[in-house]
Chains A and B, each alone.
Chain A
Amino acid sequence: MTARSLFEKVWDAHVVAPESEDRPAMLYVDLHLVHEVTSPQAFDMLREKGLEVRRPDLCLATLDHSTPTVPVTSLKDLEVVSEPAAARQLIQMEKNCKEFGIELHGFASDRRGIVHVIGPELGATQPGKTIVCGDSHTSTHGAFGALAFGIGTTEVGHALATQCLLQRRPRTFAINLEGTLRPGVTAKDIILRIIGTIGVGGGTGHAIEYRGSAIAGLSMEERMTVCNMSIEAGARAGMIAPDDTTYEYMAGRPLAPDGADWDRALAHWRTLPGDAGARYDKSVDIDVSELAPMVTFGTNPGMVISIDDAVPDQDDPAFRKALSYMQIEAGKPLSGQPVNVVFIGSCTNGRLSDIRQAASVLEGRRVPDDVRLLVVPGSERVKRDAEAQGLHEIVLAAGGEWREPGCSMCIAMNGDRVTRGQLAVSTSNRNFEGRQGSGARTILASPLTAAAAAVTGVVTDPRTLLS
């Protein structure tokens, strides 16, 4: 048998009907993550056509995107804290899930959170699964050796009605990462470096597999940060072969198999890593041993530099437009640039280890009065765990806000936003114009770099603050 990659093994195992020139493959979906923003029109389609949800047991539904990050205990509170359209959307989600028999991890649930945070922490995300969601950051789940990708609302409807999607097989792209990270450099810096190297369209048409010693050395939470931003390089999916780090993370999670089922699953998972000699359509090698903290300076995640470097210049209208929007000058470093807002959270960097890293910088320091620091745990569980470790007290003592879980300022459709013209250092994934609010300017960075900006009030190399 020919040597196959991780991607090929997972793909092949889910083909219900093979691909031909006339028709894409019918691909079976093992786990469908559903949230309030990209599903209402899909549920309406089911109603119009008189269809049911084929496998409500394979759906994991929650509220995150338009969800406020101030305390809400029941839907009635929404009338007070949310914009009317957002409140209607959340109420509609509750209604849709009830009507179609899907369990919703809503406001009353201690499992609620950002969909890409709760899937892994509940153990629903597993190696070898196909996972889809009406959200491009579904690539996050690839960290477990799952084939996970974002879809549009029409396809959300297809997955709800049939548990299948019509898909053309993407090409494969190996990104080989070697070396050991220096102190103060994180998984976020790795993925920003990758996007800077291959470009925001570099992965288009491909499923990425991240490989090499630098990946093997990362924790699951760090691997999720890397896979999360695959879409920012244009790739719908980014995968990492499962290993003992993966299995240790998964053991004992509420929805992970246990007992004899665990042993059977583990035996299967161990067959998933790519065979020796597996081929990829393209590849790139990156050494991370000299990597520094990375910061974006423009209006897409590929416009990124080491914090030590000066902002480059390019005689290109799009480049100039981006710098003009950002009010950033070419030829100067970003260090020392005054910031207005620091956001720590999101499906990229809203997990416990991210908050712990941020807290390591915040501890014993104080955010200047004219800087707003917002720390938003990725899920109820992250919030509980962080509070059990006293991390919220560190955030509050530094002068930051400690919020309820949700997408918050990453997407700015839930009441949390950066106001026009303000500069934010954010641990989220997109620095597009207006992403964090109309007219907002965003610098993407790691939790360490974001926390360093919060306590100094200016863009700062976090390594200067590490003890």
Chain B
Amino acid sequence: MEAIARITSRTVVLPIEDIDTDQIIPARFLTTTTRQGLGERLFADWRYDADGNRRADFVLNQPESAGAGILVGGNNFGCGSSREHAPWALVDYGFRAVISTEIADIFRSNSLKNGLIPVIVDAATHEWLIAHPGAEVTVDLASRTLDLPDGRNVEFPIDGFSRYCLMNGLDELGFLLENASAIREFEQRAP
């Protein structure tokens, strides 16, 4: 995985609460056996109409969203199904961070393993972001801050181990494999 230190990008704002992973990537696209190519299907039922045409009123179809790499979602983003296809689709589309006041547990865990940074902010910061779509912001992993264009640096919580893995481009599996002897010992003493 690629090492990430900071991401600077414009935001796309999708201020809907409880966006579930079925919206991020509908189940009918889960018959794939690879990780690639899901970006086309991201938010498929909101992005395209029944005939497959782009819906002009959906934010990702608007010209100002092109190239934006940070998604601001409503509270409890990523709830529902455990499908890792959701962060795969977001990353394949071009997103590198998701910002919300709350991010669902399994989605957050999956995102951290795919270089998609989950950023949890306070309600006031969230309101500011929603009021300023397209703002250029920086997610800085070293300082654990979201840096806003007005000069504010808003701290966000991130697990130290996940942060270390992201900043060094490391895969968590390496740590587990290094501990094979501890696993063996556990198996021997377990009933």
As a 0/1 sequence over residues 112 to 136 of chain B, the CB contacts with chain A under 8 angstroms (1 = contact) are 0110000000000000000000000
Q: Which of B80-120 contact A (CB under 8 A)?
A: 80-84, 87, 102, 104-106, 109-110, 113-114
Closest 5 pairs (CB-CB, A-B)? A152-B84, A152-B110, A85-B31, A40-B33, A150-B82
The answer for the CA separation of A37 and B35 in the assembled complex, in Å, is: 12
Shortest beta-carbon distance from B28 to chain A in Å: 5
As a 0/1 sequence over residues 86 to 106 of chain A, the CB contacts with chain B under 8 angstroms (1 = contact) are 101100100000000000000
A412 touches B28 (CB 8 A): yes
Q: Which of A99-152 contact B (CB under 8 A)?
A: 134-136, 150-152
The answer for the CA separation of A163 and B17 in the assembled complex, in Å, is: 36
A162 touches B18 (CB 8 A): no
As a 0/1 sequence over residues 29 to 52 of chain A, the CB contacts with chain B under 8 angstroms (1 = contact) are 000000001101100100001010
Q: Is A244 an interface residue (CB 8 A)?
A: no
Q: Is B142 an interface residue (CB 8 A)?
A: no
**Nearest A residue to B30 by beta-carbon distance?**
A37
Most buried by B among A51, A66, A201, A234: A201
B32 touches A85 (CB 8 A): yes
Q: How large is the interface on B (under 10, 10 to 19, 20 to 34, 35 or more residues)?
A: 35 or more
Stretch in A17-25, A351-359, A367-375 touching the partner: A17-25
Q: Which of A38, A165, A264, A300 contacts B82 (CB 8 A)?
A: A38
The answer for the CA separation of A65 and B83 in the assembled complex, in Å, is: 12
As a 0/1 sequence over residues 45 to 81 of chain B, the CB contacts with chain A under 8 angstroms (1 = contact) are 1000010000000000000000000000011100111
Stretch in A329-337, A432-440, A457-465 touching the partner: A432-440
B20 touches A432 (CB 8 A): yes
Shortest beta-carbon distance from B171 to chain A in Å: 8
B22 touches A66 (CB 8 A): no
Q: Which of A365-398 contact B (CB under 8 A)?
A: none
10 contacts between A and B (CB under 8 A): A24-B159, A28-B183, A92-B33, A150-B82, A152-B113, A201-B79, A204-B76, A236-B105, A433-B45, A434-B45
A321 touches B182 (CB 8 A): no
The answer for the CA separation of A236 and B161 in the assembled complex, in Å, is: 21
A154 touches B179 (CB 8 A): no
A200 touches B16 (CB 8 A): no
Q: Which of B161-191 contact A (CB under 8 A)?
A: 161, 164, 172-173, 175-177, 179-180, 182-183, 186-187, 190-191
A204 touches B30 (CB 8 A): no
**Chain A contacts for B50, CB-based, 8 A:** 420, 438-439
Q: Which of B82, B164, B191 contacts A152 (CB 8 A)?
A: B82
Shortest beta-carbon distance from A89 to chain B in Å: 5
The answer for the CA separation of A453 and B173 in the assembled complex, in Å, is: 49
The answer for the CA separation of A268 and B173 in the assembled complex, in Å, is: 32
The answer for the CA separation of A390 and B32 in the assembled complex, in Å, is: 38
**Nearest A residue to B86 by beta-carbon distance?**
A152
Q: A164-B183, A201-B104, A439-B50 are in contact. Are A300 and B164 (CB under 8 A)?
A: no
Q: Is B23 an interface residue (CB 8 A)?
A: yes
The answer for the CA separation of A17 and B16 in the assembled complex, in Å, is: 40
Q: Which of B15, B17, B191 contacts A268 (CB 8 A)?
A: B191
**Chain B contacts for A38, CB-based, 8 A:** 82-84
A166 touches B175 (CB 8 A): yes
**Chain A contacts for B179, CB-based, 8 A:** 16-17, 26, 162, 164
Q: Is A288 an interface residue (CB 8 A)?
A: no
Q: A162-B183, A432-B80 are in contact. Are A318 and B16 (CB under 8 A)?
A: yes
The answer for the CA separation of A392 and B148 in the assembled complex, in Å, is: 62
**Nearest A residue to B173 by beta-carbon distance?**
A158
Shortest beta-carbon distance from B96 to chain A in Å: 17
As a 0/1 sequence over residues 16 to 46 of chain B, the CB contacts with chain A under 8 angstroms (1 = contact) are 1110101100111011111100000000010
Q: Is B160 an interface residue (CB 8 A)?
A: yes
**Chain B contacts for A264, CB-based, 8 A:** 191
**Chain B contacts for A434, CB-based, 8 A:** 22-23, 26, 45
A41 touches B35 (CB 8 A): yes
The answer for the CA separation of A411 and B45 in the assembled complex, in Å, is: 15
B182 touches A200 (CB 8 A): no
Q: Which of B16, B83, B105 contacts A234 (CB 8 A)?
A: B105
Q: Is A313 an interface residue (CB 8 A)?
A: no
**Chain A contacts for B35, CB-based, 8 A:** 41
Q: Which of A41, A151, A317, A413 contacts B34 (CB 8 A)?
A: A41
Q: Is A83 an interface residue (CB 8 A)?
A: yes
Q: Which of A28, A54, A150, A433 contacts B22 (CB 8 A)?
A: A433
Q: Which of B16, B23, B102 contacts A204 (CB 8 A)?
A: B102
Q: Which of A162, A204, A231 contacts B177 (CB 8 A)?
A: A162
**Nearest B residue to A318 by beta-carbon distance?**
B17
**Chain A contacts for B16, CB-based, 8 A:** 317-318, 321
